[in-house]
Amino acid sequence: MDMDEKEKFETVLGEAIRLMEAGEERAAILARFSDFQKELSEAFRIVDRFSLFGKDIKPEKALLQKIIQEIGAVTPVPEKRFSSISSDSKGRRLFANPLIQIHSFMNMQMKYVLPIVAVFVVAGGVLYMNYGGVSPQVAQNTQVTSEPAGTESAAKTSDTTATKAAVPASTGNPDEIVDDIIVSLAEEEAILNDANSDADFATYDSAAASEFGQLSYE
């Protein structure tokens, strides 16, 4: 592609992109610029490919080289391809957009996203320590006072301790005292009701015993 053709192609490409953005069918655009059908098809394919990949994906190096070779309007800058868009690229910015966006995003990530993430992590840590979780000090105290983990009784003791700790201090108010006594009965009732299931053990051997009547004795 000589310089005249390059300039012509740039003009055609800019027009083609404008038409495409205006909603014209690609087939119609290709038909309109029949001299550059091959180049335009390639350009559309590349645009499609970037669109599918999304913003966070860098284009393949070979593909980028192909763009540069086919279009020849971008100044190649080794090792700095994401900053190699020429100032007069015109409509090429559309399919150069993903590159620009990747570049912009990386810059933004460095400038804004990382500090924001850092602030959130620190804030989250502070909230967790104060409200959402158990502070290391409390955890340490709990570990010292609780029984060895892994046993049912230890878990129950821990629950009980938590329940006890959650009970507010007595105020000496007669109503509150009596209400507290009555409310506590629910816990006792739950324990007592558990005994109802013991009745199921009365017939625990039914299936095993019944098998004697189902055997073949021949």
Partner 1 sequence: MNKTIPVIVGFVLAVGPALPAFAQGTTTQPSVNFCTRVSREINQQVGQRILERETKLKERRGERETKLKERRDDRQERLREYRDRRDLRRDEHYTKLEARATTTAQKAAVVTFQQAIESAVSARKAAVDAANSAFKSGLDTAIVNRKTAVDAAIATLKSSLDAAMAKAKSDCSSGVAPATAREAYRTAVENARKKFQDDMKAAEKIRDTVKTLQDTRHAALKKALDDFKMAVEKARTDLKAALGK
- Write out the residues near partner 1 by the rule CB under 8 A: 152-153, 156, 160, 164, 167, 169-172, 174-175, 177-178, 180-182, 184-185, 187-189, 191-192, 194-199, 201-213, 215-218
Instruction: Give least dist CB 45 to partner 1, A.
Output: 57
* Strand, coil or helix: 168: coil
- Closest to partner 1 by CB, 131 vs 212, is 212
- Closest to partner 1 by CB, 149 vs 208, is 208
- Closest to partner 1 by CB, 79 vs 211, is 211
CB atoms < 10 A from the CB of 172, how many?
7
Three-state secondary structure readout of 147-167: CCCCCHHHHHHHHHHHHHHHC
Which residues touch 41 (CB under 8 Å, ≥6 apart)? 30
Instruction: Give least dist CB 149 to partner 1, A.
Output: 18
**Neighbour-count burial for 86-112, b at 16+ CB within 10 Å, e otherwise:** eeebbbbebbbbbbeebeeeeeeeeee
- Closest to partner 1 by CB, 2 vs 211, is 211
Instruction: Give least dist CB 144 to partner 1, A.
Output: 21
Instruction: Give least dist CB 114 to partner 1, A.
Output: 52
